[in-house]
Structure 1
Amino acid sequence: MKHHTSSGQHQLIVGGQRSGKSRHAEALAQDWLAAAPEHRVIVLATALAFDAEMQARIQRHQQDRPAGFSTREEPLALTAALQANAAPERLILVDCLTLWLTNWLMPMQGQADLLGWQQERQALLEALPQLPGRIIFVSNEVGWGVSPMSSEARFYVDELGRLNQEVAARCAQLTLMVAGQPWTRPVAAQRGQ
Structure 2
Amino acid sequence: MGLTLVTGGARSGKSKFAEKLVSHYLALNKEESVLYIATAVAFDEEMKERIRRHQAQRPAHWRTVEQYRGLSEVFKRSKEKVILLDCITLMISNLLFEAGLNEERPNLKEVELVEKAIVNEINEMLREIKKLKDREIILVTNELGMGLVPAYPLGRIFRDIAGRVNQRIAEVSDRVYFMISGIPTLIKGGG
TM-score range, shorter chain: 0.7 to 0.9
Pick aligned residue for 2:96 from 105, 109, 133: 105
Asked if the contact 1:105/1:156 (under 8 Å) is kept, the reply is yes
AA at the equivalent of 1:99: L
Asked if the contact 1:169/1:187 (under 8 Å) is kept, the reply is no
Residue in 2 aligned with 1:51?
44
Q: TM-score, normalised by structure 2?
A: 0.84
Answering whether residue 94 of structure 2 is matched by residue 92 of structure 1, we say no
Give CA deviations for 1:25-79 in whole Å, capped at 9, x if unaligned. 0011111222234441110000010000000000000001134322111121112
Residue in 2 aligned with 1:150?
152
Asked if the contact 1:168/1:187 (under 8 Å) is kept, the reply is no
CA positional deviation for 1:81: 0.9
**Quick one: distance in 2 between partners of 1:183 and 1:55?**
30
3-state SS in 1 of match to 2:2:
coil
Give CA deviations for 1:171-191 in whole Å, capped at 9, x if unaligned. 110000000010013349xxx
AA at the equivalent of 1:164: N
Pick aligned residue for 2:170 from 161, 168, 174: 168
3-state SS in 1 of match to 2:92:
helix
Residue in 1 aligned with 2:71?
78
RMSD: 2.0
Q: Percent identity?
A: 36
CA positional deviation for 1:11: 0.3
CA positional deviation for 1:111: 2.2
Answering whether residue 121 of structure 2 is matched by residue 120 of structure 1, we say yes
| Equivalenced residues, count | 177
Pick aligned residue for 1:15 from 8, 11, 19: 8
Identify unmatched segments of 5+ residues in structure 1: 1-7, 189-193
More helix by share: 2
3-state SS in 1 of match to 2:41:
coil
AA at the equivalent of 1:96: C
Residue in 2 aligned with 1:63?
56
3-state SS in 2 of match to 1:10:
strand
